[in-house]
């Protein structure tokens, strides 16, 4: 339950921080555009918080990752060799690195969204922009988040270079798995369970690409 409470707390904290940012920041000199930003501020804060949530939660998910991975391996892959537990400092700083990178790309995408906001009021074009921007965000987060969870599982059994090689040989399948994880993080309520799902899912993906059924 602790991870569920933590995910909920992170989302609320992100939402309040981003909503405050939108309310107290001037983006355009044009009055109607700035008013649109103010009106949409709450909605934008809710959406951006959903996309940033994986980055923040993943930093602290290492606290309970070992138990989830061990449980999944014992239940679905009883013949799998026992993994070597990563030191907390190594695991935490690696998680911090990929989470920071994920947050950087996500924030960059939403800055770009704000800059092209006027185009979203053009019929037809706005529909295409929503599809394109959402797809790009999911792909970027899918890679970064999926790779982060994959490495957490894989590095219990192999070196970072070996994990990278395994990822590259199965990049399409694992990228798709990462996109699924990123999507789960954007579904309200379900995103509270996303860290647990992510470790279970990626543990199964790791052993499947390793050839263990």
The 10s digit of each residue's pLDDT in 137-171 is 788 878 888 888 898 899 889 988 999 999 999 99
Query: Among all chains, which residue has been given the structure tokens 């599809």?
Result: 131
Residues 6+ apart with CB under 8 A from 48: 14, 18, 106, 110
Predicted pLDDT at 86:
67
Say whether pTM exceeds 0.85. no
Q: Which domain holds residue 47?
A: 2-209
Predicted pLDDT at 41:
66
The string of DSSP letters for 25-87 reads ----SSHHHHHHHHHHHHHHHHHHHHHHHHHHHHHHTHHHHHHHHHHHHHHH-TTSPPPPPPP
Residue 181 CB-density burial (10 A; 0-12 exposed, 13-18 middle, 19+ buried): buried
Of 28-32, 65-69, 81-85, 123-127, least confident by mean pLDDT is 28-32
How many domains, the chain? 1
Predicted pLDDT at 3:
53
Q: At what angle do helices 2-23 and 194-209 cross, to 10 degrees?
A: 110
Identify the DSSP state of 89: H
Residues 6+ apart with CB under 8 A from 212: 77, 79, 80
Identify the DSSP state of 121: G
Percent of the chain past pLDDT 90, that is, above it, reads 17
* Interval 28-50: pLDDT, tens: 666 666 676 666 666 767 766 66
Predicted pLDDT at 148:
84
The more confident residue out of 4 and 62 is 62
Residues 6+ apart with CB under 8 A from 152: 62, 65, 69, 86, 91, 94, 95, 199, 202
Predicted pLDDT at 26:
67
Residues 46-67 have a mean pLDDT of: 68
* Interval 93-103: pLDDT, tens: 666 666 666 66
């Amino acid at each position: 339950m602790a991870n569920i409470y933590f995910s909920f707390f992170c989302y609320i904290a992100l939402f309040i921080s981003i909503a405050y940012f939108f309310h107290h920041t001037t983006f355009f000199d044009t009055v109607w555009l700035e008013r649109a930003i103010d009106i949409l501020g709450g909605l934008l804060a809710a959406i951006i918080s959903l996309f940033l949530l994986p980055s923040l939660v993943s930093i602290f998910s290492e606290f309970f990752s070992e138990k989830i991975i061990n449980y999944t391996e014992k239940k679905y892959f009883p013949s799998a060799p026992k993994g070597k537990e990563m030191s907390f400092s190594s695991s935490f700083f690696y998680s911090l690195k990929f989470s920071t990178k994920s947050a950087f790309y996500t924030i960059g995408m939403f800055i770009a969204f704000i800059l092209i906001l006027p185009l979203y009021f053009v019929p037809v074009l706005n529909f295409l922009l929503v599809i394109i921007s959402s797809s790009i965000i999911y792909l970027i987060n899918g890679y970064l988040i999926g790779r982060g969870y994959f490495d957490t599982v894989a590095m219990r059994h192999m070196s970072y270079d070996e994990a990278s090689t395994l990822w590259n040989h199965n990049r399409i399948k694992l990228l798709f798995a990462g996109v699924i994880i990123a999507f789960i993080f954007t579904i309200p309520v379900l995103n509270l369970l996303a860290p647990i799902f992510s470790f279970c899912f990626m543990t199964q993906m790791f052993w499947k690409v390793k050839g263990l059924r």
